[in-house]
């Protein structure tokens, strides 16, 4: 129950995030010029590449196999409900037809507005659409370069003392956000990335930006990185947040051990963003993919802690989602088709984590995600007399509650006689319990 006197920002946030917290599973897409060098999206910074040298990638960019309908279908079939595409990443390259720069996909050989094609294709599959927009810009001349912590030219003496006019950059950045939220119809999520050091909050003219964002798209959800980096969620989890605190926190490459709560222990919206291998942007040498089982269990873990998962793909220079990613997504999708009811609209169950796996819950449906079969009947601590019906979620088959003498020493616990000595689904076997 919400407290009687609540900050209106929190009330609005709860209303806005309702669909998001029911949808639970989204696709993150990191794609841009960096798909060509194929060493991840930070390459310009890590290898301290100058604008001149990075220009090759702009000149070459021509992803002839870009088929957003294929991406959208893959997301849909994986059971994802929304997506977030990098409209501009830190390298400053825009996948949309911005009027404020020449550094955009419509000026490459490709000559296409990828944001437009993406929103059209994903909406057509019934998915909600989000746009990632980098607050950081390693291309714009008015973004701090020399002496910045991460700019590619941070220690290039030629940039020392070079003047730049940050307010001009801010006008540009605000202008592009306005373009994205004006020219592409209804956008469901804007995903700003990221604040650091002094570049945080009002340094971005964050209040003004958020007011504009809300004016253009009142329903839109916003992450919390205008006021934070990937860490530092305290600005978000307070009960009296700043206007730019955002609608959800976005822990990166980690699932918060105990979920995320405000000062009173009340759950707050969050979304863990997770890569499928070890990079966001395409990395040809990185073949360290997570297994479908890891992905399913990570998603279940998020939901069991009231969170979402935004799972990343990094399409290559031709515009294709890597085959390995596609395979993992297809298997996850197969599991979701059979077990999606234990994810969508579900959240934390008010029960301790069971020995054999995890619980998720939606109303009087408790979902037991059984990872370990164990021996004998499956134990449900403290649920004796509370379970009306049990079935295997994947095929709806009935499972019988065990009332035999072997369980009689444990009067508070329920037990289910599982018909096989091995679990039918190695990824995650879900038992649906209808509670009294």
**194 binds ligand GLC per the rule CB under 6 A:** yes
Least spacing, CB of residue 388 vs ligand GLC, in Å = 42
Q: Can you tell me the distance from the alpha carbon of 140 to that of 413, in angstroms, rounded to the nearest whole number?
A: 63
**117 binds ligand GLC per the rule CB under 6 A:** no
Choose between 58 and 194: whose C-beta lies nearer to ligand GLC.
Answer: 194
Choose between 230 and 322: whose C-beta lies nearer to ligand GLC.
Answer: 230
- Angle between the 323-339 and 68-77 helix axes, to the nearest 10 degrees? 40
**252 binds ligand GLC per the rule CB under 6 A:** yes
**280 binds ligand GLC per the rule CB under 6 A:** yes
Choose between 316 and 407: whose C-beta lies nearer to ligand GLC.
Answer: 316
What is the CA angle 195-209-181, rounded to 5?
Answer: 105
DSSP string, 75-140: HHHTT--EEEEEEE-TT--BSS--SS-S-BGGGSTT---HHHHHHHHHHHTT-EEEEEEES--SS-
Size of the site for ligand GLC (CB under 6 A): 9
Choose between 252 and 417: whose C-beta lies nearer to ligand GLC.
Answer: 252
Choose between 193 and 428: whose C-beta lies nearer to ligand GLC.
Answer: 193
Query: What 8-state DSSP symbol labels residue 236?
Result: H
Least spacing, CB of residue 218 vs ligand GLC, in Å = 25
Choose between 30 and 140: whose C-beta lies nearer to ligand GLC.
Answer: 30
Q: Which of residues 5-34 bind ligand GLC (CB under 6 A)?
A: 30
- Residue from the set 273, 329, 336, 393 that interacts with ligand GLC by CB under 6 A: 273
**Contact by Cβ (8 Å): 139, 91:** yes
Least spacing, CB of residue 91 vs ligand GLC, in Å = 10
In the numeric block, which tokens belong to residue 286?
């990185």
Find, among 332, 320, 379, 383, the residue nearest to 354 by Cα. 379
**Contact by Cβ (8 Å): 86, 130:** no
Least spacing, CB of residue 86 vs ligand GLC, in Å = 7
Q: Can you tell me the distance from the alpha carbon of 221 to that of 121, in angstroms, rounded to the nearest whole number?
A: 20
Least spacing, CB of residue 321 vs ligand GLC, in Å = 17
Choose between 172 and 280: whose C-beta lies nearer to ligand GLC.
Answer: 280
The position carrying tokens 């993406």 is 118
Choose between 188 and 425: whose C-beta lies nearer to ligand GLC.
Answer: 188
Choose between 94 and 430: whose C-beta lies nearer to ligand GLC.
Answer: 94
Q: Is the link from the previous residue into 194 a cis peptide, with omega within 30 of 0?
A: yes
Q: Can you tell me the distance from the alpha carbon of 54 to that of 189, in angstroms, rounded to the nearest whole number?
A: 30
| Largest pairwise CA distance in the chain | 83
Give the x-and-dash track for 347-386 against ligand GLC (CB under 6 A). Answer: ----------------------------------------
Query: How does strand 400-401 pair with strand 387-392?
Result: unpaired
Least spacing, CB of residue 236 vs ligand GLC, in Å = 15
Q: Can you tell me the distance from the alpha carbon of 29 to that of 78, in angstroms, rounded to the nearest whole number?
A: 14
Least spacing, CB of residue 289 vs ligand GLC, in Å = 18
Q: Which of residues 213-232 bind ligand GLC (CB under 6 A)?
A: 230
**91 binds ligand GLC per the rule CB under 6 A:** no
**Contact by Cβ (8 Å): 134, 84:** no
In the numeric block, which tokens belong to residue 170?
């801010």
Least spacing, CB of residue 138 vs ligand GLC, in Å = 11
Least spacing, CB of residue 318 vs ligand GLC, in Å = 21
**Contact by Cβ (8 Å): 295, 310:** no
Least spacing, CB of residue 345 vs ligand GLC, in Å = 25
Query: What 8-state DSSP symbol labels residue 424?
Result: S
Choose between 317 and 430: whose C-beta lies nearer to ligand GLC.
Answer: 317
**Contact by Cβ (8 Å): 97, 116:** yes
Choose between 42 and 122: whose C-beta lies nearer to ligand GLC.
Answer: 42
Q: Is the link from the previous residue into 387 a cis peptide, with omega within 30 of 0?
A: no
* Three-state DSSP class for residue 73: helix
- Residue from the set 113, 193, 301, 320 that interacts with ligand GLC by CB under 6 A: 193
Q: Can you tell me the distance from the alpha carbon of 33 to that of 12, in angstroms, rounded to the nearest whole number?
A: 37
Q: Which of residues 127-146 bind ligand GLC (CB under 6 A)?
A: none
Least spacing, CB of residue 253 vs ligand GLC, in Å = 8
Interface with ligand GLC by CB under 6 A: which residues?
30, 41-42, 193-194, 230, 252, 273, 280
């Amino acid at each position: 129950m919400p407290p009687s006197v609540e900050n209106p920002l929190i009330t609005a946030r709860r209303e806005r995030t309702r669909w998001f917290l029911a949808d639970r599973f989204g696709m993150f897409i990191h794609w841009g010029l960096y798909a060509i060098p194929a060493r991840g999206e930070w390459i310009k910074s890590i290898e301290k590449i100058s604008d001149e040298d990075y220009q090759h990638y702009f000149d070459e960019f021509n992803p002839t196999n870009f088929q957003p309908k294929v991406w959208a279908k893959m997301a849909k079939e994986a059971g994802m409900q929304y997506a977030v595409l990098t409209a501009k990443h830190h390298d400053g390259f825009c996948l949309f037809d911005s009027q404020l720069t020449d550094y955009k996909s419509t000026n490459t050989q490709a000559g296409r507005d990828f944001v437009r094609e993406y929103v059209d294709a994903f909406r057509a599959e019934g998915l909600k659409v989000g746009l990632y927009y980098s607050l950081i810009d390693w291309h714009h001349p008015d973004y701090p370069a020399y002496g910045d912590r991460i700019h590619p030219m941070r220690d290039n003496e030629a940039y020392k003392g070079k003047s730049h006019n940050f307010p001009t950059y801010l006008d540009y950045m605000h202008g592009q956000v306005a373009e994205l939220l004006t020219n592409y119809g209804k956008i469901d999520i804007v995903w700003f990335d990221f604040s650091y050091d002094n570049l945080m909050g009002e340094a971005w003219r964050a209040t003004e930006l958020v007011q504009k964002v809300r004016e253009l798209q009142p329903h839109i959800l916003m992450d919390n990185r205008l006021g934070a980096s990937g860490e530092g969620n305290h600005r978000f989890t307070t009960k009296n947040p700043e206007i730019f605190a955002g609608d959800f926190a976005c822990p990166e490459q980690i699932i918060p051990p105990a979920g995320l709560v405000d000062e009173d222990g009340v759950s707050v919206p969050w979304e863990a963003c997770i890569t499928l291998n070890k990079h966001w942007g395409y990395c040809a040498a990185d073949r360290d993919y997570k297994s479908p089982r890891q992905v399913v269990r990570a998603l279940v873990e998020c939901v069991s802690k009231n969170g979402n998962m935004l799972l990343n793909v990094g399409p290559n220079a031709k515009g294709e989602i890597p085959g390995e990613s596609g395979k993992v997504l297809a298997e996850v999708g197969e599991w979701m088709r059979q077990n999606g009811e234990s994810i969508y609209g579900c959240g934390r169950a008010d029960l301790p984590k069971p020995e054999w796996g995890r619980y998720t819950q939606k109303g009087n449906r408790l979902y037991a995600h059984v990872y370990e079969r164990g021996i004998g009947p499956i134990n449900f601590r403290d649920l004796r007399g509370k379970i009306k019906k049990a079935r295997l979620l994947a095929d709806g088959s009935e499972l019988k509650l065990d009332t035999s003498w072997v369980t009689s020493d444990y009067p508070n616990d329920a037990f289910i006689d599982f018909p096989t000595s091995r679990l039918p689904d190695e990824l995650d076997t879900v038992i649906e319990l209808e509670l009294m």
